[in-house]
């Protein structure tokens, strides 16, 4: 097994992103097949689940702890659905009408029978969306429209955005009138320039790559940013954010004005003058000395007006973007 110490930090980041995406797609495909499986396909599906388990074991040590845990939970859910399918199959064959009733035995062979299992556990339906190739515009959560009402979670890819404001917060009407608000499971963000990204709450991780002169506002479990310059990140995060090959990064706490429930994050002392509710980790500066690539936002550098509307987009960008001096 290859350990994380044997791999370059960039290779680790890329491996985790690629493996997690592929693993989740495989789990989603197997989950769909289980919903319409019959007795003849149970064995093959069980074998594929075992193969996924082997892949995860081999990847242990190269995945962040949160991604590892999420993959384990998905495997557990598949195992549970498989067991319920087997139980459902056994139950239906027991009460099938036959000319000769056989004495119950340990035999596993059963007549071919189409099964529609009743899953007692709540099933999560997911989908994906891409927001790309936009410039000089104001984008809202309506970019994610068209998702089926049965969908619970959505994974979003955001690429090639410039000079724009992207606001994925649900509107007040959506929050108060809709009983079904789709949650964001993960975000993959690449090639963004001169833009403000208000991402709201994300259930899983946010991966960012190649950002220049941007403001990011997000709540998430994991935040990892790579190859980016001049980014102000306002975070509500369950772990410590990670940066690599980045410069001129400034961190702040998630704005109270944008929180659905205003819960004060505990502060972590960074130095005598600034405080943050988390401690950023710089994988390009693994030393005892402070990283020169990031710092906390000072009070007079924070954005206080978050009433970003479709009007005056250029002026709002001018006021909020970091634009560090060379």
DSSP string, 53-102: HHHHHHHTTSS-HHHHHHHHHHHHHHHHHHHHHHHHHHHHHHT---SSPP
- Does residue 256 sit in helix, strand or coil? helix
How confident is the model at residue 273, as a pLDDT?
45
First to last CA, the chain: 44
* pLDDT tens track for 26-62: 888 888 888 877 777 777 888 888 888 888 887 876 7
Residue 114 is encoded by which pair of tokens?
Answer: 């189409």
Has residue 158 got a pLDDT over 50? Answer: yes
In the chain, helix, strand, coil percent, each to 5? 30, 30, 40
How confident is the model at residue 177, as a pLDDT?
45
Rg (CA), the chain: 24
In degrees rounded to 5, what are phi and psi of residue 99? -70, -40
- Does residue 2 sit in helix, strand or coil? coil
In degrees rounded to 5, what are phi and psi of residue 46? -60, -40
88's CB contacts (< 8 A; 6+ apart) are 115, 117, 118
In Å, how far are 26, 44, 62, 128, 308 from 57, measured between CA atoms? 16, 20, 10, 27, 46
pTM summary value: 0.62
Residue 318 is encoded by which pair of tokens?
Answer: 């001018």
Q: Please tell me the least confidently modeled range out of 60-69, 219-228, 279-288, 311-320.
A: 60-69
Q: How many CA atoms lie within 13 A of 178 on its CB side?
A: 11
Q: How far is it, in rounded angstroms, from Cα 313 to Cα 105? A: 72
- Crossing angle of helices 9-35 and 65-94, in 10° steps, is 20
Work out the average pLDDT over 226-240: 94
Sign of CA dihedral 146, 148, 152, 154: negative
Compare 313 and 162 and report the one with higher pLDDT. 162
Q: How far is it, in rounded angstroms, from Cα 120 to Cα 100? A: 32
How confident is the model at residue 274, as a pLDDT?
53
Q: Is 236 exposed, middle or buried (0-12, 13-18, 19+ CB in 10 A)?
A: buried
Compare 326 and 288 and report the one with higher pLDDT. 288
DSSP state of 311: T
Has residue 210 got a pLDDT over 60? Answer: yes
- Does residue 299 sit in helix, strand or coil? helix
Q: Please, which pLDDT band fits residue 267 given cuts at 50, 70 and 90?
A: low
Contact 165, 135 (CB under 8 A): no
How confident is the model at residue 236, as a pLDDT?
94
- Crossing angle of helices 9-35 and 39-59, in 10° steps, is 170
Structural domains of the chain, with CATH: 4-94 (1.20.58), 126-320 (2.160.20.70)
């Amino acid at each position: 097994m290859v350990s994380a110490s044997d791999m370059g930090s960039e290779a680790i980041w890329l491996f985790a992103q690629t493996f997690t995406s592929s693993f989740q797609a495989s789990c989603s495909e197997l989950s769909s097949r289980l919903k319409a499986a019959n007795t003849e396909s149970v064995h093959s599906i069980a074998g594929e689940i075992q193969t996924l388990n082997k892949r995860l074991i081999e990847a242990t040590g190269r995945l962040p702890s949160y991604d590892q845990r999420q993959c384990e939970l998905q495997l557990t859910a598949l195992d549970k659905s498989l067991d319920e399918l087997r139980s459902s199959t056994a139950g239906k064959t027991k009460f099938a009408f036959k000319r000769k009733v056989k004495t119950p035995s340990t035999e596993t062979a059963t007549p071919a029978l189409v099964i529609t299992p009743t899953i007692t556990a709540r099933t999560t339906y997911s989908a994906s969306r891409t927001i790309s190739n936009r410039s000089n515009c104001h984008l809202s959560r309506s970019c994610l429209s068209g998702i089926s009402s049965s969908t619970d979670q959505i994974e979003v890819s955001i690429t090639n955005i410039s000079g724009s404001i992207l606001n994925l917060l649900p509107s007040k009407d959506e929050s108060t009138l809709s009983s079904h608000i789709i949650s964001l499971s993960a975000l993959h963000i690449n090639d963004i320039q001169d833009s403000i990204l208000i991402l709201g709450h994300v259930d899983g991780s946010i991966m960012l790559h190649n950002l220049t002169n941007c403001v990011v506002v997000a709540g998430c479990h994991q935040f990892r940013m790579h190859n980016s310059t001049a980014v102000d990140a306002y975070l509500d995060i369950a772990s410590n954010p990670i940066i690599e090959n980045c410069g001129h990064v400034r961190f702040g706490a998630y704005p109270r004005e944008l929180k659905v429930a205003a819960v004060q994050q505990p502060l972590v002392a960074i130095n005598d003058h600034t405080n943050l509710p988390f401690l950023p980790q710089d994988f390009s500066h693994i030393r005892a000395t402070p990283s020169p690539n990031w710092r906390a936002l000072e009070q007079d550098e924070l954005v206080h007006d978050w009433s970003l509307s479709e009007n005056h987009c250029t002026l709002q960008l001018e006021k909020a973007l970091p634009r560090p001096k060379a």
